[in-house]
Structure 1
Amino acid sequence: VAITDDGHCVQNNELMRRAVEYARMVGVPVLDHCQDYNLVGNGVVHEGYWSTLLGLPGWPSAGEEAIVARNILLAELCDHHIHCQHISAAGSVRALREARARGVKISGEICPHHIALRDEAIQNFDTNYKMNPPLRGEEDVAALLAGIADGTLDILASDHAPHAKFEKEVEFDQAPFGILGLETELGLFLDLLVHKTKTIELPRLIEMLTVNPARLLRLEAGTLTSGAPADVTLIDSNLDWTVDANAFETLSRNTPFDGWNLKGRAVRTIVGGKTVWKL
Protein backbone atom coordinates (compact mmCIF):
# COMPACT_ATOMS: atom_id res chain seq x y z
CA VAL A 1 0.00 0.00 0.00
CA ALA A 2 2.63 2.57 1.08
CA ILE A 3 5.75 3.26 3.13
CA THR A 4 5.49 5.93 5.82
CA ASP A 5 7.45 7.38 8.71
CA ASP A 6 4.18 7.43 10.70
CA GLY A 7 4.60 10.85 12.28
CA HIS A 8 8.34 10.56 12.93
CA CYS A 9 9.95 12.47 10.09
CA VAL A 10 13.13 10.96 8.65
CA GLN A 11 15.81 13.61 9.24
CA ASN A 12 18.70 11.96 7.41
CA ASN A 13 18.41 12.87 3.73
CA GLU A 14 20.51 9.94 2.53
CA LEU A 15 18.33 7.50 4.47
CA MET A 16 15.20 9.12 3.05
CA ARG A 17 16.63 8.81 -0.45
CA ARG A 18 17.20 5.08 0.04
CA ALA A 19 13.68 4.65 1.38
CA VAL A 20 12.25 6.34 -1.72
CA GLU A 21 14.41 4.21 -4.01
CA TYR A 22 13.32 0.99 -2.30
CA ALA A 23 9.69 2.15 -2.43
CA ARG A 24 10.08 2.65 -6.17
CA MET A 25 11.42 -0.90 -6.52
CA VAL A 26 8.31 -2.40 -4.88
CA GLY A 27 5.91 0.09 -6.49
CA VAL A 28 4.45 1.89 -3.48
CA PRO A 29 4.40 5.62 -2.60
CA VAL A 30 6.17 7.18 0.38
CA LEU A 31 3.98 9.10 2.85
CA ASP A 32 5.97 11.63 4.86
CA HIS A 33 5.29 13.67 7.99
CA CYS A 34 7.08 16.93 7.18
CA GLN A 35 8.87 18.19 10.30
CA ASP A 36 12.47 19.37 10.54
CA TYR A 37 13.33 18.74 14.19
CA ASN A 38 16.26 21.16 14.15
CA LEU A 39 13.98 24.03 13.13
CA VAL A 40 10.95 22.99 15.18
CA GLY A 41 12.88 22.22 18.36
CA ASN A 42 10.49 22.04 21.31
CA GLY A 43 7.85 24.18 19.57
CA VAL A 44 4.23 23.50 20.49
CA VAL A 45 2.35 26.28 18.63
CA HIS A 46 2.82 28.32 15.46
CA GLU A 47 5.72 30.75 15.82
CA GLY A 48 4.30 34.26 15.70
CA TYR A 49 2.31 36.80 17.68
CA TRP A 50 0.40 34.35 19.84
CA SER A 51 3.37 32.17 20.74
CA THR A 52 5.23 35.30 21.85
CA LEU A 53 2.29 36.73 23.79
CA LEU A 54 1.55 33.46 25.59
CA GLY A 55 5.18 32.53 26.21
CA LEU A 56 4.87 29.19 24.43
CA PRO A 57 7.70 27.70 22.34
CA GLY A 58 7.15 28.58 18.68
CA TRP A 59 7.04 26.18 15.74
CA PRO A 60 8.05 28.04 12.55
CA SER A 61 6.41 27.29 9.22
CA ALA A 62 9.92 26.71 7.89
CA GLY A 63 10.02 23.55 10.00
CA GLU A 64 7.47 22.07 7.60
CA GLU A 65 8.52 23.87 4.44
CA ALA A 66 12.13 22.66 4.64
CA ILE A 67 11.07 19.00 4.56
CA VAL A 68 8.53 19.62 1.80
CA ALA A 69 11.36 21.15 -0.26
CA ARG A 70 13.60 18.16 0.56
CA ASN A 71 10.86 15.75 -0.49
CA ILE A 72 10.35 17.56 -3.79
CA LEU A 73 14.06 17.25 -4.58
CA LEU A 74 14.09 13.55 -3.69
CA ALA A 75 10.90 12.81 -5.62
CA GLU A 76 12.50 14.41 -8.66
CA LEU A 77 15.87 12.71 -8.13
CA CYS A 78 14.35 9.25 -7.61
CA ASP A 79 11.49 9.75 -10.08
CA HIS A 80 9.04 8.40 -7.51
CA HIS A 81 5.93 9.59 -5.68
CA ILE A 82 6.25 11.19 -2.25
CA HIS A 83 3.06 12.29 -0.50
CA CYS A 84 3.34 15.11 2.07
CA GLN A 85 0.92 14.64 4.93
CA HIS A 86 -1.24 17.27 6.68
CA ILE A 87 0.14 20.39 4.99
CA SER A 88 -0.37 23.55 7.07
CA ALA A 89 1.91 26.31 5.74
CA ALA A 90 1.60 28.71 2.81
CA GLY A 91 5.19 28.10 1.74
CA SER A 92 4.52 24.38 1.46
CA VAL A 93 1.59 25.02 -0.86
CA ARG A 94 3.68 27.29 -3.08
CA ALA A 95 6.47 24.72 -3.32
CA LEU A 96 4.09 21.87 -4.12
CA ARG A 97 2.30 23.94 -6.78
CA GLU A 98 5.55 24.78 -8.56
CA ALA A 99 6.86 21.22 -8.39
CA ARG A 100 3.64 19.65 -9.67
CA ALA A 101 3.61 22.11 -12.57
CA ARG A 102 7.04 20.71 -13.53
CA GLY A 103 5.73 17.16 -13.39
CA VAL A 104 7.39 16.11 -10.13
CA LYS A 105 5.67 13.11 -8.53
CA ILE A 106 4.69 14.92 -5.35
CA SER A 107 1.34 15.46 -3.63
CA GLY A 108 -0.12 16.88 -0.43
CA GLU A 109 -3.15 16.62 1.80
CA ILE A 110 -5.12 18.93 4.06
CA CYS A 111 -6.89 18.37 7.40
CA PRO A 112 -10.07 20.23 8.41
CA HIS A 113 -8.69 21.91 11.53
CA HIS A 114 -6.02 23.72 9.53
CA ILE A 115 -8.70 25.60 7.57
CA ALA A 116 -11.37 25.79 10.29
CA LEU A 117 -9.15 27.34 12.97
CA ARG A 118 -6.34 29.90 13.33
CA ASP A 119 -3.50 30.07 15.83
CA GLU A 120 -5.38 32.68 17.87
CA ALA A 121 -7.57 29.81 19.11
CA ILE A 122 -4.80 28.82 21.56
CA GLN A 123 -5.07 32.02 23.61
CA ASN A 124 -7.00 30.27 26.43
CA PHE A 125 -4.43 27.45 26.64
CA ASP A 126 -7.06 24.84 25.72
CA THR A 127 -5.05 21.72 24.84
CA ASN A 128 -7.75 20.58 22.41
CA TYR A 129 -6.25 23.19 20.07
CA LYS A 130 -2.81 21.60 20.25
CA MET A 131 -2.04 19.56 17.15
CA ASN A 132 0.87 18.58 14.92
CA PRO A 133 1.49 20.54 12.77
CA PRO A 134 0.08 23.49 14.72
CA LEU A 135 -2.73 25.84 13.79
CA ARG A 136 -1.34 28.71 11.73
CA GLY A 137 -2.33 32.20 10.62
CA GLU A 138 -4.80 33.72 8.17
CA GLU A 139 -2.27 33.84 5.32
CA ASP A 140 -1.67 30.12 5.66
CA VAL A 141 -5.39 29.31 5.71
CA ALA A 142 -5.92 31.38 2.55
CA ALA A 143 -3.06 29.51 0.85
CA LEU A 144 -4.51 26.15 1.86
CA LEU A 145 -7.92 27.05 0.43
CA ALA A 146 -6.27 28.23 -2.79
CA GLY A 147 -4.32 24.98 -2.94
CA ILE A 148 -7.53 22.99 -2.64
CA ALA A 149 -9.25 25.12 -5.27
CA ASP A 150 -6.53 24.74 -7.91
CA GLY A 151 -5.75 21.07 -7.21
CA THR A 152 -2.34 21.56 -5.62
CA LEU A 153 -3.69 19.74 -2.56
CA ASP A 154 -5.75 16.83 -3.81
CA ILE A 155 -6.50 14.69 -0.75
CA LEU A 156 -8.61 15.48 2.33
CA ALA A 157 -7.54 13.71 5.53
CA SER A 158 -8.59 13.61 9.18
CA ASP A 159 -5.29 13.14 11.08
CA HIS A 160 -7.43 11.31 13.66
CA ALA A 161 -5.57 11.35 16.99
CA PRO A 162 -7.72 10.34 19.99
CA HIS A 163 -6.44 10.92 23.52
CA ALA A 164 -7.86 10.19 26.95
CA LYS A 165 -9.24 13.15 28.89
CA PHE A 166 -6.55 12.95 31.58
CA GLU A 167 -3.81 13.13 28.96
CA LYS A 168 -5.05 16.50 27.74
CA GLU A 169 -5.76 17.95 31.20
CA VAL A 170 -2.18 19.08 31.82
CA GLU A 171 -0.10 22.17 31.05
CA PHE A 172 -0.27 23.13 27.38
CA ASP A 173 3.36 22.38 26.59
CA GLN A 174 3.10 18.98 28.33
CA ALA A 175 -0.10 17.80 26.62
CA PRO A 176 0.08 15.39 23.67
CA PHE A 177 -0.50 16.68 20.16
CA GLY A 178 -3.64 15.72 18.28
CA ILE A 179 -7.43 15.83 18.18
CA LEU A 180 -10.26 13.57 17.08
CA GLY A 181 -10.83 13.71 13.35
CA LEU A 182 -13.02 10.91 12.02
CA GLU A 183 -16.36 12.03 13.46
CA THR A 184 -16.09 15.68 12.43
CA GLU A 185 -13.97 15.51 9.25
CA LEU A 186 -16.80 15.13 6.72
CA GLY A 187 -19.07 17.67 8.40
CA LEU A 188 -16.33 20.28 8.63
CA PHE A 189 -15.22 19.84 5.03
CA LEU A 190 -18.81 19.98 3.73
CA ASP A 191 -19.61 23.04 5.82
CA LEU A 192 -16.39 24.94 5.12
CA LEU A 193 -15.44 23.96 1.56
CA VAL A 194 -18.82 23.38 -0.10
CA HIS A 195 -21.24 25.64 1.77
CA LYS A 196 -19.40 28.56 3.41
CA THR A 197 -16.36 29.31 1.23
CA LYS A 198 -17.61 27.48 -1.88
CA THR A 199 -14.00 26.52 -2.56
CA ILE A 200 -15.05 23.30 -4.32
CA GLU A 201 -18.29 21.56 -5.24
CA LEU A 202 -19.62 18.35 -3.73
CA PRO A 203 -18.37 15.95 -6.47
CA ARG A 204 -14.83 17.29 -6.08
CA LEU A 205 -15.00 16.95 -2.29
CA ILE A 206 -16.09 13.31 -2.60
CA GLU A 207 -13.25 12.68 -5.06
CA MET A 208 -10.71 14.13 -2.62
CA LEU A 209 -12.03 11.94 0.21
CA THR A 210 -12.33 8.68 -1.73
CA VAL A 211 -10.98 8.35 -5.27
CA ASN A 212 -7.73 10.24 -4.78
CA PRO A 213 -6.60 8.46 -1.58
CA ALA A 214 -7.41 5.09 -3.16
CA ARG A 215 -5.45 6.01 -6.28
CA LEU A 216 -2.46 7.15 -4.20
CA LEU A 217 -2.40 3.87 -2.27
CA ARG A 218 -3.09 1.72 -5.34
CA LEU A 219 -6.28 0.36 -3.80
CA GLU A 220 -9.32 -0.91 -5.68
CA ALA A 221 -11.60 1.31 -3.62
CA GLY A 222 -13.27 4.71 -3.69
CA THR A 223 -15.56 3.75 -6.56
CA LEU A 224 -19.13 2.56 -7.13
CA THR A 225 -18.30 0.62 -10.30
CA SER A 226 -19.65 -2.91 -10.72
CA GLY A 227 -17.62 -5.44 -8.77
CA ALA A 228 -16.01 -2.89 -6.44
CA PRO A 229 -16.16 -3.45 -2.65
CA ALA A 230 -19.56 -2.44 -1.28
CA ASP A 231 -18.05 0.05 1.16
CA VAL A 232 -20.26 3.13 0.96
CA THR A 233 -21.00 6.18 3.08
CA LEU A 234 -24.36 7.85 2.54
CA ILE A 235 -24.38 11.57 3.26
CA ASP A 236 -26.94 14.32 3.57
CA SER A 237 -25.00 17.35 2.34
CA ASN A 238 -27.63 19.81 3.59
CA LEU A 239 -28.37 18.37 7.03
CA ASP A 240 -27.92 20.92 9.81
CA TRP A 241 -26.46 19.44 13.00
CA THR A 242 -24.51 20.34 16.12
CA VAL A 243 -21.32 18.56 17.13
CA ASP A 244 -21.85 16.79 20.47
CA ALA A 245 -18.66 15.19 21.76
CA ASN A 246 -20.62 13.17 24.32
CA ALA A 247 -22.45 11.42 21.47
CA PHE A 248 -19.29 10.32 19.64
CA GLU A 249 -18.86 6.64 18.85
CA THR A 250 -15.21 6.86 19.85
CA LEU A 251 -14.32 6.68 23.53
CA SER A 252 -12.29 9.90 23.33
CA ARG A 253 -13.67 13.43 23.47
CA ASN A 254 -10.65 15.57 22.55
CA THR A 255 -12.15 17.90 19.98
CA PRO A 256 -12.15 21.70 19.67
CA PHE A 257 -15.37 21.52 17.66
CA ASP A 258 -17.81 20.51 20.40
CA GLY A 259 -20.92 22.68 20.01
CA TRP A 260 -20.16 23.78 16.44
CA ASN A 261 -23.12 24.05 14.07
CA LEU A 262 -22.36 22.39 10.73
CA LYS A 263 -24.19 21.68 7.49
CA GLY A 264 -23.77 18.20 6.02
CA ARG A 265 -22.90 14.86 7.60
CA ALA A 266 -22.82 11.10 7.13
CA VAL A 267 -26.13 9.33 7.79
CA ARG A 268 -25.24 5.69 7.07
CA THR A 269 -22.08 3.61 6.70
CA ILE A 270 -22.07 0.37 4.71
CA VAL A 271 -19.12 -2.03 4.84
CA GLY A 272 -19.04 -5.16 2.72
CA GLY A 273 -22.66 -4.57 1.77
CA LYS A 274 -23.86 -4.43 5.39
CA THR A 275 -24.96 -1.38 7.35
CA VAL A 276 -22.58 -0.98 10.28
CA TRP A 277 -23.73 2.47 11.44
CA LYS A 278 -26.64 4.79 10.83
CA LEU A 279 -27.78 8.10 12.23
Structure 2
Amino acid sequence: MKIVACIKQVPDTVEITIDKETGVLVRDNVPAILNPFDAYAIEEAVLIKDSCGGEVTAITMGPPQAIAVLHDAFSVGVDHAVHICDSAFRGSDTFVTAKILAAAIKKLGGVDLILCGKQAIDGDTAQVGPEIAEFLDIPHVAYVKKIREVSEDAILLERMTETGIEVIQVKLPAMLTVLKDINTPRLPSFKLKRAAKEKAIPVWGIQELGLCEEEVGLQGSPTTVMKTFTPKARGNCQMLSGLDEDIIDALFLQIDSAL
Protein backbone atom coordinates (compact mmCIF):
# COMPACT_ATOMS: atom_id res chain seq x y z
CA MET A 1 0.00 0.00 0.00
CA LYS A 2 1.28 3.44 -0.94
CA ILE A 3 0.44 6.01 1.73
CA VAL A 4 1.05 9.77 1.77
CA ALA A 5 1.05 11.87 4.94
CA CYS A 6 0.60 15.58 4.26
CA ILE A 7 2.29 17.53 7.03
CA LYS A 8 3.03 21.18 7.74
CA GLN A 9 5.51 23.29 9.61
CA VAL A 10 3.64 25.99 11.53
CA PRO A 11 4.77 29.02 13.52
CA ASP A 12 4.77 28.69 17.27
CA THR A 13 1.37 30.18 18.09
CA VAL A 14 2.83 32.24 20.93
CA GLU A 15 5.11 34.04 18.47
CA ILE A 16 2.76 34.41 15.50
CA THR A 17 2.33 37.76 13.72
CA ILE A 18 0.50 38.76 10.55
CA ASP A 19 1.52 41.18 7.80
CA LYS A 20 -1.19 43.85 8.00
CA GLU A 21 -0.78 44.76 4.33
CA THR A 22 -1.12 41.28 2.79
CA GLY A 23 -2.77 39.28 5.58
CA VAL A 24 -0.02 36.63 5.22
CA LEU A 25 1.58 35.02 8.27
CA VAL A 26 5.06 36.35 8.98
CA ARG A 27 7.25 33.24 9.25
CA ASP A 28 10.72 34.81 9.02
CA ASN A 29 12.80 34.36 12.19
CA VAL A 30 9.82 32.82 13.99
CA PRO A 31 10.17 29.55 15.97
CA ALA A 32 8.47 26.75 14.04
CA ILE A 33 7.10 23.34 14.96
CA LEU A 34 5.41 20.36 13.31
CA ASN A 35 1.69 20.97 13.23
CA PRO A 36 0.58 18.91 16.28
CA PHE A 37 -2.37 17.28 14.51
CA ASP A 38 -0.09 16.04 11.73
CA ALA A 39 1.88 13.90 14.19
CA TYR A 40 -1.21 11.68 14.46
CA ALA A 41 -1.48 11.41 10.68
CA ILE A 42 2.17 10.31 10.44
CA GLU A 43 1.72 7.76 13.22
CA GLU A 44 -1.42 6.28 11.65
CA ALA A 45 0.31 6.04 8.27
CA VAL A 46 3.22 4.13 9.82
CA LEU A 47 0.86 1.85 11.79
CA ILE A 48 -1.01 0.95 8.60
CA LYS A 49 2.28 0.29 6.82
CA ASP A 50 3.43 -1.96 9.68
CA SER A 51 0.21 -4.00 9.58
CA CYS A 52 -0.50 -4.06 5.84
CA GLY A 53 2.88 -3.53 4.22
CA GLY A 54 3.81 -0.84 1.75
CA GLU A 55 5.53 2.52 2.11
CA VAL A 56 4.86 5.96 3.55
CA THR A 57 5.85 9.24 1.94
CA ALA A 58 5.64 12.49 3.87
CA ILE A 59 5.17 15.68 1.88
CA THR A 60 5.25 19.24 3.09
CA MET A 61 4.85 22.60 1.38
CA GLY A 62 6.77 25.49 2.84
CA PRO A 63 9.94 27.59 2.88
CA PRO A 64 13.41 26.00 3.00
CA GLN A 65 13.33 25.61 6.79
CA ALA A 66 10.19 23.45 6.54
CA ILE A 67 12.44 20.52 5.66
CA ALA A 68 12.86 20.05 9.42
CA VAL A 69 9.39 18.45 9.71
CA LEU A 70 10.38 15.91 7.06
CA HIS A 71 13.38 14.95 9.19
CA ASP A 72 10.93 14.54 12.09
CA ALA A 73 8.80 12.25 9.91
CA PHE A 74 11.80 10.09 9.00
CA SER A 75 12.62 9.69 12.70
CA VAL A 76 9.30 7.92 13.36
CA GLY A 77 9.35 5.49 10.45
CA VAL A 78 8.43 7.30 7.24
CA ASP A 79 10.16 5.84 4.16
CA HIS A 80 10.32 8.78 1.75
CA ALA A 81 9.78 12.54 1.79
CA VAL A 82 9.21 15.37 -0.67
CA HIS A 83 9.68 19.08 0.03
CA ILE A 84 7.45 21.36 -2.04
CA CYS A 85 9.18 24.71 -2.10
CA ASP A 86 9.06 27.64 -4.51
CA SER A 87 8.91 31.40 -3.96
CA ALA A 88 5.96 31.44 -6.39
CA PHE A 89 3.89 29.52 -3.81
CA ARG A 90 4.18 32.26 -1.19
CA GLY A 91 0.79 33.54 -0.02
CA SER A 92 -1.24 30.63 -1.43
CA ASP A 93 -4.65 30.25 0.19
CA THR A 94 -6.13 26.88 1.13
CA PHE A 95 -7.54 26.30 -2.36
CA VAL A 96 -4.21 26.86 -4.10
CA THR A 97 -2.30 24.97 -1.39
CA ALA A 98 -4.56 21.96 -1.99
CA LYS A 99 -4.03 22.29 -5.76
CA ILE A 100 -0.25 22.23 -5.30
CA LEU A 101 -0.32 19.28 -2.91
CA ALA A 102 -2.68 17.39 -5.23
CA ALA A 103 -0.26 17.97 -8.11
CA ALA A 104 2.55 16.52 -5.99
CA ILE A 105 0.47 13.45 -5.10
CA LYS A 106 -0.35 12.92 -8.77
CA LYS A 107 3.35 13.14 -9.57
CA LEU A 108 4.10 10.45 -6.96
CA GLY A 109 1.55 8.21 -8.68
CA GLY A 110 -0.34 5.14 -7.48
CA VAL A 111 -1.19 6.54 -4.04
CA ASP A 112 -3.79 4.45 -2.17
CA LEU A 113 -4.33 6.51 0.98
CA ILE A 114 -3.68 10.13 1.96
CA LEU A 115 -3.68 11.19 5.61
CA CYS A 116 -3.73 14.68 7.11
CA GLY A 117 -4.24 16.07 10.58
CA LYS A 118 -7.73 17.48 11.03
CA GLN A 119 -6.42 21.05 10.65
CA ALA A 120 -3.35 23.27 11.00
CA ILE A 121 -3.09 25.39 14.13
CA ASP A 122 -1.99 28.49 12.22
CA GLY A 123 -5.17 28.69 10.15
CA ASP A 124 -7.69 26.33 11.77
CA THR A 125 -9.65 26.11 8.51
CA ALA A 126 -9.65 22.28 8.16
CA GLN A 127 -10.09 22.85 4.41
CA VAL A 128 -6.91 21.63 2.74
CA GLY A 129 -7.45 17.88 3.24
CA PRO A 130 -10.93 17.75 1.71
CA GLU A 131 -9.86 20.15 -1.05
CA ILE A 132 -6.97 17.84 -2.00
CA ALA A 133 -9.48 15.00 -2.34
CA GLU A 134 -11.68 17.13 -4.59
CA PHE A 135 -8.75 17.97 -6.86
CA LEU A 136 -7.89 14.26 -7.05
CA ASP A 137 -11.57 13.26 -7.44
CA ILE A 138 -11.40 10.68 -4.64
CA PRO A 139 -13.62 10.13 -1.57
CA HIS A 140 -12.67 11.78 1.70
CA VAL A 141 -13.70 11.44 5.34
CA ALA A 142 -12.97 14.08 7.97
CA TYR A 143 -12.60 13.77 11.76
CA VAL A 144 -11.59 10.11 11.71
CA LYS A 145 -11.09 8.78 15.26
CA LYS A 146 -10.42 5.11 14.57
CA ILE A 147 -9.48 2.85 11.67
CA ARG A 148 -11.03 -0.57 12.19
CA GLU A 149 -9.84 -2.48 9.14
CA VAL A 150 -7.79 -1.89 6.00
CA SER A 151 -8.09 -4.12 2.94
CA GLU A 152 -6.67 -3.90 -0.56
CA ASP A 153 -9.52 -1.80 -1.92
CA ALA A 154 -11.38 -0.35 1.10
CA ILE A 155 -11.01 0.96 4.62
CA LEU A 156 -13.47 0.64 7.51
CA LEU A 157 -13.36 3.51 9.99
CA GLU A 158 -15.11 5.56 12.63
CA ARG A 159 -15.59 9.29 12.33
CA MET A 160 -16.68 11.75 15.00
CA THR A 161 -19.82 13.80 14.39
CA GLU A 162 -21.72 16.35 16.47
CA THR A 163 -24.20 13.67 17.49
CA GLY A 164 -21.95 10.65 17.96
CA ILE A 165 -19.85 8.26 15.88
CA GLU A 166 -20.41 7.12 12.30
CA VAL A 167 -18.99 3.84 10.99
CA ILE A 168 -18.09 4.19 7.32
CA GLN A 169 -16.51 1.96 4.68
CA VAL A 170 -14.61 3.93 2.04
CA LYS A 171 -13.20 2.67 -1.23
CA LEU A 172 -9.54 3.32 -1.92
CA PRO A 173 -7.88 5.54 -2.98
CA ALA A 174 -9.17 7.95 -0.36
CA MET A 175 -8.26 10.94 1.78
CA LEU A 176 -8.71 10.95 5.58
CA THR A 177 -8.22 13.73 8.11
CA VAL A 178 -7.62 12.35 11.60
CA LEU A 179 -8.28 13.40 15.19
CA LYS A 180 -5.98 13.12 18.18
CA ASP A 181 -8.09 10.22 19.48
CA ILE A 182 -6.84 7.93 16.73
CA ASN A 183 -3.47 6.97 18.28
CA THR A 184 -0.54 7.98 20.47
CA PRO A 185 2.43 9.15 18.38
CA ARG A 186 5.61 7.23 19.08
CA LEU A 187 8.77 8.89 20.32
CA PRO A 188 11.35 9.49 17.59
CA SER A 189 14.04 6.85 17.21
CA PHE A 190 17.56 8.18 17.83
CA LYS A 191 18.90 5.87 15.13
CA LEU A 192 16.32 7.04 12.58
CA LYS A 193 16.73 10.64 13.67
CA ARG A 194 20.46 10.49 12.98
CA ALA A 195 19.90 8.71 9.67
CA ALA A 196 17.29 11.31 8.66
CA LYS A 197 20.00 13.94 8.33
CA GLU A 198 21.61 11.85 5.59
CA LYS A 199 18.41 11.33 3.59
CA ALA A 200 18.19 12.94 0.18
CA ILE A 201 14.92 14.86 0.05
CA PRO A 202 13.81 16.02 -3.41
CA VAL A 203 12.52 19.58 -3.73
CA TRP A 204 9.66 20.13 -6.15
CA GLY A 205 8.77 23.58 -7.38
CA ILE A 206 6.47 25.08 -9.93
CA GLN A 207 8.25 23.48 -12.91
CA GLU A 208 8.41 19.98 -11.42
CA LEU A 209 4.68 20.10 -10.69
CA GLY A 210 3.70 21.45 -14.09
CA LEU A 211 2.02 24.57 -12.71
CA CYS A 212 2.21 28.19 -13.84
CA GLU A 213 2.76 31.30 -11.74
CA GLU A 214 -0.68 32.73 -12.54
CA GLU A 215 -2.45 29.85 -10.77
CA VAL A 216 -0.43 29.77 -7.54
CA GLY A 217 0.54 32.16 -4.76
CA LEU A 218 -1.42 35.31 -3.98
CA GLN A 219 -2.32 35.97 -7.61
CA GLY A 220 -3.81 32.50 -8.07
CA SER A 221 -5.73 32.44 -4.79
CA PRO A 222 -9.49 33.02 -5.10
CA THR A 223 -9.70 34.17 -1.47
CA THR A 224 -7.81 36.97 0.26
CA VAL A 225 -7.60 38.19 3.83
CA MET A 226 -9.41 41.52 3.93
CA LYS A 227 -8.59 42.41 7.52
CA THR A 228 -6.70 41.03 10.48
CA PHE A 229 -7.02 42.25 14.03
CA THR A 230 -6.71 41.21 17.65
CA PRO A 231 -10.11 41.10 19.40
CA LYS A 232 -10.42 43.48 22.32
CA ALA A 233 -10.44 41.74 25.68
CA ARG A 234 -13.73 42.06 27.52
CA GLY A 235 -13.57 41.35 31.22
CA ASN A 236 -17.15 41.98 32.26
CA CYS A 237 -19.02 38.76 32.97
CA GLN A 238 -22.31 38.14 34.74
CA MET A 239 -23.23 34.74 36.15
CA LEU A 240 -26.94 33.86 36.09
CA SER A 241 -28.56 31.42 38.49
CA GLY A 242 -32.07 30.36 39.39
CA LEU A 243 -34.90 28.75 37.47
CA ASP A 244 -34.56 28.21 33.73
CA GLU A 245 -37.41 30.61 33.03
CA ASP A 246 -35.79 33.37 35.08
CA ILE A 247 -32.43 32.88 33.36
CA ILE A 248 -34.04 33.03 29.91
CA ASP A 249 -35.89 36.23 30.80
CA ALA A 250 -32.66 37.77 32.08
CA LEU A 251 -30.82 36.81 28.87
CA PHE A 252 -33.50 38.42 26.70
CA LEU A 253 -33.26 41.58 28.78
CA GLN A 254 -29.50 41.63 28.21
CA ILE A 255 -30.00 41.17 24.45
CA ASP A 256 -32.63 43.93 24.29
CA SER A 257 -30.38 46.34 26.16
CA ALA A 258 -27.45 45.52 23.85
CA LEU A 259 -29.58 46.27 20.78
Using structure 2 for the length normalisation, give the TM-score: 0.29
Q: Does 1 or 2 have the higher relative contact order (CA < 8 Å, sep 6+)?
A: 2
Higher helix share: 1
Using structure 1 for the length normalisation, give the TM-score: 0.27
Larger Rg: 2
Higher strand share: 2
